[in-house]
């Protein structure tokens, strides 16, 4: 397939009546809302997007979008209203933070794509987690199974052997820790230790027992979008429109979680940069990141050292992609990401601090509040 396939072609219209004409009937369209904000997070305008046989986009203010939603048939009206309420919730989050929170990565694996083997031993992994916390990470994300493209699965017993001592040590230090896993058994065991966040790259779909296992827990859950399994996901990623397709699939997973008894306040979403997407599709997701505010949950973005960064910059070694990774982190933070999952914590925190001070007129950033772990659902 062409590397630009699946990015979509949104046609801008000047008259909201033309949104329905894109489909032949307004109630046949799927409606979304994408906010436009200034660098301080204040809402400037809203793009209303109608997806049908053709996807069309109309720019208006919040009141104009709400008026349109009120006049739509039941299903599209409710969908647009829900997106607008998600945008309002994001506005409140922006008002309560100086910058996106930083999640530091600790891979207790021999084969992760950029740092496999660096923290494969328990002592090294524990030291790495403590270092990242000292550098300003609000959350330490610990994983014992690589999910890089082409990675083979790891047995549950081996995954737990890798992560358990690391989780115990970091929790004993009073740090906020997340467990990066696809397995229900690891999720429940980690929660029993007191781990407050479960980060699942499969959005609770890999393990059939995961949804029921997580529902009664107190832990928060990050649902990440991925097309396919790590062993095959980069072979032929295919979408009609990657932005709208990923949004719709994440929304469906959120609805499934809520139906299973998981409160919305426990859920965060991740569009899954690099997981079953071409490089141009990754860029499209970043460019249209504000659309995901409409999910009504906090947004996590993990673009650190990913392949598209090397594709853009020409840097082949993943560990050398600091500059491009900082560019992606700053852009994602400016576009509404609540949490940034990164390898290079100190550099990211410093960049966010300067960016936030310039945008907000304040010198109080996350870098000055180490150890205060924000809730992904706050």
Q: For residue 55, what are its two tokens?
A: 């996807």
Distance (Å) of CA 14 to CA 7, 18, 59: 22, 8, 8
- Continuous segment of H or E residues that includes residue 49: strand 43-51
- Separation of alpha carbons 26 and 18, rounded Å: 9
Contact predicate 169/126, CB 8 Å: yes
Please state the φ and ψ torsions of residue 6, each to the nearest 5 degrees.
85, 5
- Separation of alpha carbons 308 and 16, rounded Å: 36
Active-site residue, 341 included: yes
Q: Shortest CA distance to 187 belongs to which of 232, 150, 218, 149?
A: 218
Catalytic residue among 51, 56, 162, 341: 341
Please state the φ and ψ torsions of residue 245, each to the nearest 5 degrees.
-65, -45
SS3 356: helix
Please state the φ and ψ torsions of residue 35, each to the nearest 5 degrees.
-80, 150
Catalytic residue among 306, 316, 321, 366: 306
Q: Which residue in the block uniquely carries the two structure tokens 């014992």?
A: 144
- Separation of alpha carbons 364 and 34, rounded Å: 28
Neighbouring CB atoms inside 10 A of 30's CB total 17
Q: Are strands 55-60 and 43-51 parallel, antiparallel or unpaired?
A: antiparallel
Neighbouring CB atoms inside 10 A of 365's CB total 20
Active-site residue, 21 included: no
Instruction: Let me know if 201 is exposed, middle or buried by CB neighbors in 10 A (0-12, 13-18, 19+).
Output: buried
Residue count of the chain, please give it: 378
Q: Which regions of 71-116 does DSSP assign to beta strands (E)? A: 101-107
Contact predicate 212/262, CB 8 Å: no
Q: For residue 362, what are its two tokens?
A: 């304040």
Contact predicate 142/177, CB 8 Å: yes
List active site positions.
Answer: 306, 341
């Amino acid at each position: 397939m062409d590397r630009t396939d699946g990015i979509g072609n949104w046609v801008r219209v000047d008259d909201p009546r033309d949104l329905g004409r894109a489909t032949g009937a307004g109630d046949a369209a799927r409606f979304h809302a994408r906010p436009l904000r200034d660098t301080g997070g204040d809402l400037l305008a809203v793009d209303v997007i109608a997806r049908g046989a053709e996807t069309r986009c109309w720019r208006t203010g919040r009141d104009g979008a709400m008026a349109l939603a009120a006049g739509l048939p039941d299903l599209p009206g409710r969908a647009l209203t829900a997106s607008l309420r998600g945008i309002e919730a994001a506005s409140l989050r922006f008002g309560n933070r100086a910058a996106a929170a930083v999640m530091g990565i600790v891979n207790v694996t021999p084969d992760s794509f950029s740092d496999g083997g660096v923290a494969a031993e328990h002592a090294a992994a524990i030291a790495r987690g403590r270092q990242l916390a000292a550098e300003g990470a609000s959350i330490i994300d610990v994983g014992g199974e690589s999910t890089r493209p082409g990675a083979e699965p790891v047995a549950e017993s081996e995954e737990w052997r890798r992560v358990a001592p690391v989780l115990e040590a970091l929790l004993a230090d009073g740090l906020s820790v997340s467990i990066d896993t696809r397995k229900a058994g690891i999720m429940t065991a980690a929660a029993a230790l007191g781990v407050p966040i479960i980060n699942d790259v499969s959005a609770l779909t890999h393990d059939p027992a995961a949804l029921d296992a997580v529902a009664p827990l107190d832990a928060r859950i990050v649902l990440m979008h991925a097309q396919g399994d790590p062993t095959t996901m980069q072979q032929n990623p295919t979408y009609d429109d990657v932005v709208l397709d990923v949004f719709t699939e994440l929304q469906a997973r959120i609805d499934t979680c809520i139906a299973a008894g998981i409160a919305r306040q426990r859920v965060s979403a991740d569009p899954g940069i690099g997981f079953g997407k071409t490089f141009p599709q990754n860029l499209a997701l970043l460019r249209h990141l504000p659309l995901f505010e409409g999910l009504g949950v906090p947004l996590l973005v993990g673009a650190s050292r990913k392949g598209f960064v090397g594709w853009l910059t020409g840097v082949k070694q993943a560990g050398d992609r600091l500059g491009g990774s900082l560019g992606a982190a700053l852009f994602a933070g400016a576009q509404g990401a609540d949490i940034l999952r990164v390898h290079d914590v100190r550099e990211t925190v410093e960049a966010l601090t300067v960016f936030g001070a310039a945008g907000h007129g304040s010198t109080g950033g996350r870098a000055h509040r180490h150890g205060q772990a924000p809730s992904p659902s706050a």
